[in-house]
């Protein structure tokens, strides 16, 4: 207590401006600290909502096994492995404290670059890159593919294929020389097709479908059991959707290009979603195709939770990065390949 009064008297000697700076810094720290405690508690509750399960073998015969670094450890009586409440989450095996990860989550929700996140959180750029994708791997698992129902708008959006960060040995063709870009007209295999479907409750499906033109079979593979039975599918006049709607026995409204229907059946919501997706992706200056799926889920998360207050968003983003079991080793990033439906 003596220390506290000493510190206080020292602080009171400072200018009012400096005192305010200290106050807001302290408030931020206290807020972060209490949120970290809340998150730790909620991760535990949600992960084990049906009772304790071993993340290694799903066995339920668990006992406590002491504490390490203030974290409760458990041991599985079946496989003999130990675990904590955070095993195989985004922050698993991280030596950095959780409040740093929270700051990182905040940066991600602002859509900052890897470099900017690294500067603000005071970690190096390589770490910033891995943190981003460890979080996104969990977020992707948490969100899953999802489903849509009712009036459903479906359309596809294309991104240029990018081999960025791929070892030359894994490349299907020699990399392009500057100024010698392959220009193919229209849709080619140099483009990645991302399928999107959006219903009026704003449930969103957004998945890497294929390279080049899509087929109705690919659509079926993605949307099978994910579009409610009596849904009404609204699309442009792309042929694949006709075949797809017929095979799935869905009522189908084809909206002609440039035709603005006053009707409730239109594709304006999905069109404007595509515009904001393109705008959002522009800031990243070309994403490697092997990571594109993660960026789509990042966008989906932000789109889904955008109505929440910032503090709630950060907390949910952290929770969703810890509840699913998804641990990615760094070496797995290097050999990663794009995953299509």
Binding site for Zn ion (CB under 5 A): 54, 56-57, 59, 76, 78-79
Sorted by sequence, the CB contacts under 8 Å of residue 3 that are 6+ apart come out as: none
**Computed over its alpha carbons, how large is the radius of gyration of the chain?**
24
Query: What is the helix (H) or strand (E) element at residue 210, kind and residue range?
Result: strand 204-211
Least distance in angstroms from the C-beta of 43 to Zn ion: 19
Least distance in angstroms from the C-beta of 52 to Zn ion: 11
Least distance in angstroms from the C-beta of 70 to Zn ion: 23
Least distance in angstroms from the C-beta of 54 to Zn ion: 3
Least distance in angstroms from the C-beta of 48 to Zn ion: 14
Sorted by sequence, the CB contacts under 8 Å of residue 310 that are 6+ apart come out as: 106, 109
Secondary structure letter of residue 177 according to DSSP: P
* Distance in angstroms (rounded) separating the CA atoms of residues 289 and 161: 6
Which of 76/102 has CB closer to Zn ion? 76
Cβ atoms of 310 and 124 closer than 8 Å: no
SS3 188: coil
Residue by residue, DSSP assigns 123-164 as --HHHHHHHHHHHHHHHHHHH-S--B-SEEEEEEEEEE---T
Which of 88/216 has CB closer to Zn ion? 88
Which of 83/131 has CB closer to Zn ion? 83
* Distance in angstroms (rounded) separating the CA atoms of residues 214 and 220: 11
Residue 280: exposure state from Cβ atoms within 10 A (0-12, 13-18, ≥19): middle
Which of 52/220 has CB closer to Zn ion? 52
Cβ atoms of 221 and 227 closer than 8 Å: no
Which of 41/77 has CB closer to Zn ion? 77
Which of 22/79 has CB closer to Zn ion? 79
* Distance in angstroms (rounded) separating the CA atoms of residues 284 and 295: 10
* Distance in angstroms (rounded) separating the CA atoms of residues 119 and 131: 14
Least distance in angstroms from the C-beta of 62 to Zn ion: 8
Which of 54/107 has CB closer to Zn ion? 54
Which of 76/222 has CB closer to Zn ion? 76
* Distance in angstroms (rounded) separating the CA atoms of residues 135 and 141: 10
Least distance in angstroms from the C-beta of 82 to Zn ion: 9
Which of 89/191 has CB closer to Zn ion? 89
Least distance in angstroms from the C-beta of 66 to Zn ion: 17
Cβ atoms of 321 and 168 closer than 8 Å: no
Least distance in angstroms from the C-beta of 73 to Zn ion: 13
């Amino acid at each position: 207590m003596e220390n506290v009064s000493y510190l206080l008297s020292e602080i009171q000697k400072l200018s009012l401006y400096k005192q305010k700076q200290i106050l807001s810094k302290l408030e931020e720290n206290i807020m972060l600290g209490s949120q970290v405690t809340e998150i730790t508690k909620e991760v535990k509750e949600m992960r084990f909502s049906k009772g304790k399960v071993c993340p290694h073998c799903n066995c339920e015969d668990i006992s406590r096994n002491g504490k390490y670094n203030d974290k409760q450890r458990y041991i599985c009586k079946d496989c003999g492995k130990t675990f904590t409440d955070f095993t195989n989450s985004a922050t698993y095996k991280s030596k950095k404290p959780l409040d740093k990860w929270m700051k990182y989550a905040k940066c991600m929700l602002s859509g900052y670059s890897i470099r900017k996140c690294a500067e603000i959180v005071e970690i190096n750029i390589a770490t910033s890159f891995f943190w981003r994708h460890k979080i996104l791997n969990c977020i992707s698992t948490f969100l899953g593919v999802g489903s849509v129902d009712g009036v459903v708008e479906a359309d596809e959006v294309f991104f240029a294929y990018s081999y960025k960060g791929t070892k030359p040995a894994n490349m299907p063709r020699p990399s392009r020389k500057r100024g010698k870009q392959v220009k193919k007209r229209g849709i080619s295999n140099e483009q990645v097709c991302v399928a999107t479907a959006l219903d009026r409750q704003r449930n969103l499906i957004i998945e890497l479908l294929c390279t080049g033109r899509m087929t109705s079979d690919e659509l079926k593979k993605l949307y099978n059991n994910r579009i409610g039975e009596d849904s009404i599918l609204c699309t442009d006049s792309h042929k694949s959707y006709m075949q797809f709607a017929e095979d799935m026995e869905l009522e189908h409204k084809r909206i002609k290009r440039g035709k603005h229907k006053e009707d409730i059946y239109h594709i304006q919501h999905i069109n404007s979603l595509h515009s904001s997706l393109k705008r959002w992706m522009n800031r990243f200056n070309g994403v490697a195709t092997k990571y594109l799926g993660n960026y789509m889920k990042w966008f989906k998360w932000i789109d889904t939770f955008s109505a929440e207050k910032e503090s709630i968003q950060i907390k949910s983003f952290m929770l969703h990065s810890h509840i699913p079991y998804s641990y990615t080793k760094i070496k797995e990033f290097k050999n990663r390949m794009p995953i299509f439906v």
